[in-house]
Amino acid sequence: MPLHELPGMPEHMVGFRATGLVSAEDYRAVFDPALERAIATGTPVNVVYVLGHDFDRYSAGALWEDLRLEAQPHDSWGRLALVTDHGVLAEVVHLLSFLLPGHVRIFPTSEEREAVAWASGATA
């Protein structure tokens, strides 16, 4: 499956790694259940999302699923760390980050550990 939940994330945090072509079904099978579990705790959810060199693209359906996240209550979100070296994706997220709930920060793939630490609240 092109979307995998990252193991060993700190409390109140979920992490994902996308590879290849990510579809709407990948969101429904992996992302949505993990996010729903995290939101059910009642604590703002921090997310690390890794789009490494082996990530290709999102399907149109996956983009729609991504937009649906905006429907979650804004107080459900804490920090979102996007980890990628895909310049265009990073720039789009940066430009649209004011629309996203929570605090967004973009990290290069070489700083994945730092992204996890930031998203968990361990660093400022």
pLDDT in tens, 23-35: 888 888 998 899 8
Q: For 14-71, what is each residue's pLDDT tens digit?
A: 999 999 988 888 888 998 899 888 888 888 889 999 998 899 887 767 666 665 665 5
3-120 belongs to which homologous superfamily? STAS domain (3.30.750.24)
Query: What are the residues facing 51 on neighbouring strands?
Result: 18, 84
Q: How far apart are CA 59 and CA 16, in angstroms?
A: 17
Q: What is the pTM of this model?
A: 0.85
Q: Which residue in 18, 56, 41, 46 sits closest to 122, CA to CA? A: 46
